[in-house]
Amino acid sequence: MFLRWITNFVADGATDVTGRDGRDGGLSLLYQPPPSVLSVVQRSSAMTSPPAASRPTVLIIEDEQAIARCLAIFLDKRGFDAVIAPDASVAQGLLGVQRWDVVIVDQLLGRGPKGDEVIELAARRDPGLMDRTIFITGDITEETHERIERTGCHASLAKPFSLLQLHEKVREVVDGARVTVVRNLRQA
């Protein structure tokens, strides 16, 4: 019952809380995401300007809308600008128009290319992309683990994972990127 409540809340932004016996619990919740949480991007051309530079940018490549929205809301509350790409083709377009501070990608994206294929293609244009990529997957087979490991990504998390684990990995990427930039500036 709790999982159904959370799923409805994340997917629809609203839910009613009922008791175990099915009776109305007298509590209804409505969540309106803040404007900085960008809704699902339908076409890469819809994004005309990058998110504000003062907040690190995160591209979430996830075909399960409830999970993607939950991650975007969570990251927004922790100071990140999150954009959701619901499939590989949208992800490829968004990866081509700007440099993302962090990319979170699901390995299984429904029909079409897998997450590692999307990232490897984009990494040809952006060689440091793998260092900024975090894979998430519910497919914990040895083959999937090996595919993800071969990418050289920053981290991978098996679903279900804790949002705090994800936040820790995102912070590692952002903080690591800042250290690299500072080091490169000192060398110049």
pLDDT for residue 70: 95
Q: Which of 25-39, 45-59, 134-148 has the lowest mean pLDDT?
A: 25-39
pLDDT for residue 111: 84
Together in a domain, 85 and 27: no
Together in a domain, 171 and 146: yes
Does residue 184 fall inside a structural domain?
Answer: no
Say if residue 43's pLDDT is above 70: no
**What SS3 state is found at 15?**
strand
Together in a domain, 53 and 102: yes
Together in a domain, 19 and 37: no
pTM here is: 0.69
Give the residue, 24 or 108, on which the prediction is more confident.
Answer: 108
Look up residue 135 and give its two tokens: 């894979």
Residue 1's domain spans which residues? 1-32
Does residue 188 fall inside a structural domain?
Answer: no
Q: How many domains in the chain?
A: 2
Does residue 183 fall inside a structural domain?
Answer: no
In 3D, which of 77, 76, 71, 70 has the Cα closest to residue 13? 70
Together in a domain, 153 and 110: yes
Q: What is the CATH number of the domain that holds 134?
A: 3.40.50.2300
Together in a domain, 109 and 55: yes
pLDDT for residue 177: 59
Does residue 46 fall inside a structural domain?
Answer: yes
Together in a domain, 22 and 86: no
Does residue 185 fall inside a structural domain?
Answer: no
Contacts of 36-39 with C-beta under 8 Å, sequence gap 24+, read 36/76, 36/81, 37/69, 37/72, 37/73, 37/76, 37/82, 38/72, 38/81, 38/82, 38/83, 38/84, 39/84
- Tally the C-alpha atoms within 13 A of residue 116's C-alpha that lie toward its C-beta: 16
Together in a domain, 63 and 100: yes
Give the residue, 179 or 64, on which the prediction is more confident.
Answer: 64
Does residue 182 fall inside a structural domain?
Answer: no
Together in a domain, 158 and 144: yes
